[in-house]
Structure 1
Amino acid sequence: MAAKEWLFLVRLTVSKFDRTIQKLLSCWGDAMPSDGRISNLFPIHSGAGQGSSVLVSSPFLGSAKVSLASAAIERLPSLNGREKAMLRRYIWAQAEYGLVPVIDIDAVEYAIKLPSPRFMQLFKDTLRFVERNTKYPGVSFMLDGSPQSCSAELATILCLDLGNYTTSDGPIPMGFAGYYLDELFNNRYIERHDGNGSYQVKLLPPGQMALESEDSLGRASTQGFIAMWFSPEMEAPLREGLVKGIEGAGYKAAVVDQNHHHEGTVNDEIIAQIRRSKFVVADFTCDTIDTSAKREFIVRGGVYFEAGYALALGKPVIWTARKNCLDGLHFDTRQFPHILWDEPDELKAALQARIEAFVGRGPLAPP
């Protein structure tokens, strides 16, 4: 099919869904014309219409691609520098699971409210970045700030606030990477040579062994851990909602019920299971006491601990709560998008959809 014919068909299909993205399809080529809203987030990108969304690829996402919904695209111009950096990193992290993230407006709002990654997480991600860009054992590669190179992906991994950076501004400043490369070098994980704002980097055997050890902590896991309040009234939501939602998304549900463990070992088992899991589902449903003055909530601190521990390990956390417990959520976590539910079937459907969108469909998914 000729390029002009292809372009006509794409335009015709897209116009049925969303005219706001037609200008992305105004010519044929590897690099399509920049849309101000998208290029504001991805300084270099190529895009193609895909129904009511745009499929975008960019060096700033590494090998990842992302499907941006039109409502999400409209939100991009109002994001500040930090929010753009957090969204880029969130997309990159989702793509690490091997799928094309679908970013709608809810995902944007979720990503920009995430806490900044801690040093250890950035340290590990930088080491994994070095591994991914090492073509052969013992062979080095160059980080020179070129926006077309892997330097752009490292800027995303480390949440670099690019501000109003465009590719015409020249090389990406690489000073931000030196802090993490220094620490990798000090741990003998990499060999590094500096020169005129660039870095020659080589992965060393201790670094490779550290990565293989990290993989044993759940990165390739097929299970999701459930953190929740255990009580008779929560048996149906657990069995018919949380467990079935995880299983429907293609994962095995891991539950540590305190009633079946000795007090001295339950915390050890919880920590071990979280470390083995790919993600954590934290349900903040709690017991309530209605008095003449107000409704009081008996908050379950253990669920907050387990969710916080998972976040510290860099694992995705999916937040849920029964609707009548919304006012009992702590203000530190209320900012996260919770799945609010009334019935187990409602929880199951919403949880499965959220897992597939934020983590990816698992290998155990039913056909």
Structure 2
Amino acid sequence: MYKPVVVYDIERSTRTNHFTRIVVESLVATNPTMTAMNRDTICSIWQTPAHEISTKHHLFFGFDSPRAHGQYMIRSDQRSSITELLNDSGKARLTTWLINQREQGERCPDVTREVIEAAQNAQDMSVPKRINRVLQFLGAPRGRRPTEGVTLDPNPEGTTLDGKGTAYYELLARSESITWEGDLKALLDHLEKNGLVNRIDLHGGLQFHYALELSGFERVEELREAHPDSDQAFVAMWFDDELEPAYVDGISRAIEGAGYRPLRVDKQQFADKIDDRIISEIRRSRFLVADFSQGKDGARGGVYYEAGFAHGLGRKVIFTCRKEDIDHVHFDTRQYNHILWENAEDLRKQLEERITAVMGDGPLKGRGET
């Protein structure tokens, strides 16, 4: 079985003088690494075991790394920037960025110099959020029984990982941890002390099996309930007649086509601040679509606030922007994977595909109820 997979070439942009990617489609065999190449190699970020993946261009190196929680690619002349600019905390933040990009639908993110610098200056993930990430990792998939769990090998050796070593590296990545002692182990010890997980030492304490206690399952379910199984998608955008076709024929139709119900608080209800209605509707929504297109007067600050508020709640945010406006988007937001659109139909097509990829088909899919 074959399917189209996106790989990349580059050219110099005369407008921005930055390297931009040209999407090229290539038919390759369907497999987890996007290519028939499956050679063992070393992750450029963490110097840990990984698989090499083909990017179809000699200037790019591609990796499928458990320690980076998946695939990424990097230009050959940027590999040294990681060690030059990032300490271990910066590498952990870069790993979190990669995970976020994949959750936004970009299967193999590009680690550019700009991304590396952003990771250098980013804030560390809070300890409570890291603890919750560990719990959610141990609680997935949803059907896992109390007697099941995850076996971790904190001392993986060699260049070929087994399931225990892979799980250990993936949990380091998900929890923005750096080491075992005093870091990931401290998070797990906290959960064990509070009766949320159970630990069994294996092979003389060289490996550890962790499983959720019933109270741990209850906590994981509480975290899931904080991300409601709603059919509502909140839309944050610039309220202007110029963008009305983009909403009516683009965003709204895309959300409905994916099986969800769009909600936009119109300009009559918006009063120069984020009012209670907007906050409550974001809380009720399953995800948020934020369009950062803007007019001559600049961006509408509310879009940034609403996207940030949704992020703080743990909601997925799907970023879009009119192609001609992307250079005016604030850097902190521009680092996310935006859908760049040229017209309403282009926006509809790309957005519906992204929603389906990131969120899955909505509860209204095929019912004609949207």
TM-score normalized with structure 1 length: 0.63
User: What is the one-letter code of the residue matched to 1:153?
Assistant: E
Query: Quick check: 1:216 aligned with 2:225?
Result: yes
Distance of 1:270 and 1:311 partners within structure 2:
14
Residue identity matched to 1:44: P
- Equivalent in 85, 91, 112 of residue 92 of structure 2: 85
* Secondary structure at 2:132 match in 1: helix
Q: How far has the Cα of 1:228 moved from its partner?
A: 1.6
1:13-162 to 2 correspondences below 5 Å: 25=37, 32-34=39-41, 36=42, 38=43, 40=45, 43-46=48-51, 59-60=66-67, 66=71, 78-79=81-82, 80=86, 81=88, 84-90=91-97, 92=99, 102-105=107-110, 113=118, 115=122, 116-132=124-140, 136-138=145-147, 142-147=151-156, 148=161, 149=164, 150-161=167-178
Determine which structure has the larger strand proportion and give its number.
Answer: 2
Please give the residue correspondences for 1:300-315 in structure 2 after superposition, counting only pairs within 5 Å. 300-315=300-315
Structure with larger Rg: 1
Other-structure match for 2:361 = 362
Question: What displacement does 1:188 show?
Answer: 3.7
What SS class does the counterpart of residue 233 from structure 1 fall into? helix
- Larger fraction in helix: 1
Secondary structure, counterpart of 1:145 in structure 2: coil
Residue number in structure 2 paired with 1:274: 282
Alignment of 1:237-252 (within 5 A): 237-248=246-257, 250-252=258-260
Distance 1:15 1:86 in 2: 33
Separation in 2, partners of 1:95, 1:83: 19
Give % identity: 28
- For 1:271, give the aligned amino acid: I
- In structure 1, the partner of 2:183 is 176
Change (3 A) 1:340 1:39: closer
Q: Which amino acid aligns with 1:152?
A: Y
Q: Which residues in structure 2 correspond to 1:191-206 (within 5 Å)? A: 191=198, 201-206=210-215
When the two structures are aligned, how many residues end up with a matched partner?
A: 314
User: 2 CA distance for matches of 1:223 and 1:131?
Assistant: 26
Counterpart check, 1:343 vs 2:343: yes
Unaligned runs of 5+ in 2: 1-25
CA change 1:90–1:137 in 2 (3 A) is same
CA distance in 2, matches of 1:58, 1:105: 14
Q: What is the aligned counterpart of 1:233 among 230, 233, 242?
A: 242
Unaligned runs of 5+ in 1: 1-13, 26-30, 162-171, 289-295
Instruction: Measure how far apart 1:174 and its partner are.
Output: 3.4
Report the Cα distance in structure 1 between the residues aligned to 2:68 and 2:226, rounded to whole angstroms.
Answer: 24
Offset, 1:145: 0.9
SS of residue paired to 2:348: helix
Find the aligned partners of 2:302 and 2:116 in 1 and give their Cα distance.
24
Distance 1:332 1:102, change over 3 A: closer
Query: Secondary structure of 2:154's match?
Result: coil
Cα-Cα RMSD: 4.8
